[in-house]
Structure 1
Amino acid sequence: MIPNLNCLLIDDDKDDQEIFKLALQDINEHIVCLTVDNGMEGLQLLRRNESFVPGHIFLDLNMPRMSGKDCLAALRSIPRLAEVPVVIYSTSSDPRDIRETKELGATDYIVKQYSLASLKEILRRYFN
């Protein structure tokens, strides 16, 4: 089976978006990562383009307009995305956030890294 090399990053921080995309390109130049700035935009994109099913969705928790937890709950209510891994990508390492997002259906939880090398090492798990 050929892996799906499309992903969606929902994160309001433009610097974090760029670092994330740089890490992915270093892992595999064929990975296509769409980015949106908040949960509302992410949901609009996914609802508007019904044929788009990303291989992974990476989701920040602390964003304006809609929290990552609310976005996660909405993502999990979209039937065609039921099998898509949703990975929380946040600065928070609070065990309560980790537990609550897993209960809401998050597949995994990544604490944002300050090193590009560390981020690449973590992201390799999802794209090998």
Structure 2
Amino acid sequence: MKQKIFKHILLADDDLDDCDFFSEVFTEKFPEVKLSVSNNGEALITLLEGPPKPEADLIFLDLNMPILSGAECLRKIRSSPELKSHIIIIFTTSSNPSDIQKMYAMGANYFITKPVSYQDLIQLIDKAMHLVSDNNAEQPSFENFYIKI
């Protein structure tokens, strides 16, 4: 299977500190990848619907955001013929099993609980990028949906 090469990643997260840490990881580990950040769900949908339309290879999506929640964004993306093929990783503080099951059922590709340490964040993002690269847009089995260190 051909590995996916990433050119553009979107992060939708309203926590500015988390956005900064996430950006630092990308600068350090994936300097060749463009990272765009939206601080609420509505801004993400507006960015995806363009113009201009950034061709995003992957979206990291927080669940708890203002204006449109991550779940509302996921629903909009998966119901849109133009947007539904985007690869989406839920990136949230939640580790609630019902949130994990709900996001799987709604069609997210993977689920990550935000770690407390920067080193763990590096490991999780690196693992997620490799999983998506290896599997492309395939949703894994539920047992492999929740990415952990």
Indicate the residue corresponding to 2:60 in structure 1.
58
Give the aligned length: 128
Structure 1, residues 68-95: CA drift from partner, whole Å, max 9, x if none?
1011101112323333210000001000
2:7 paired residue among 2, 5, 27 = 5
Structure 1 residues 7-26: aligned runs within 5 Å: 7-26=9-28
Distance 2:99 2:38 in 1: 22
Flag structure 1 segments of 5+ consecutive residues without an equivalent.
none
* 1:88-109 residue CA offsets vs partner (Å, 9 max, x unmatched): 0000100000000111110000
Structure 1 residue 118 corresponds to structure 2 residue 120: yes
Q: Which residue of structure 1 lines up, in the alignment, with residue 70 of structure 2?
A: 68
TM-score (norm 2): 0.79
State the identity as a percent. Answer: 32
Code of the residue aligned with 2:78 in structure 1: it is R
C-alpha distance in 2 between matches for 1:75 and 1:54: 13
Deviation readout 1:101-127 (Å, 9 max, x if unpaired): 111110000000111111111111243
Deviation of 1:20 after TM superposition, in Å, equals 0.5
Distance in structure 2 (CA, Å) of the matches to 1:117 and 1:5: 23
- Write the letter of the residue equivalent to 2:122: K
Selected match of 2:30 from 28, 31, 40: 28
Tell me, what secondary structure is at the counterpart of 1:19?
helix
Task: Say which of 68, 80, 86 aligns to 2:82.
Answer: 80
Give ranges in structure 2 of 5+ residues lacking alignment.
Answer: 131-149
Cα distance, 1:53 vs structure 2? 2.1
Deviations 1:40-87 (A, max 9, x none): 010011111364221110000111111110111011123233332100
CA RMSD of aligned residues (A): 1.6
Structure-2 residue corresponding to 1:102: 104
Task: Give the distance between the partners of 1:50 and 1:85, measured in 2 at CA.
Answer: 19
Q: Would the aligned equivalents of 1:59 and 1:68 in 2 still touch at CA under 8 Å? A: yes
Runs of 4+ residues over 4 Å off in structure 1: none
The answer as to whether partners of 1:5 and 1:127 remain within 8 angstroms in 2 is no
Structure 2: which amino acid aligns with 1:107?
N
TM-score between the two structures when normalised by the length of structure 1: 0.91
Correspondence for 1:41 among 40, 43, 49: 43
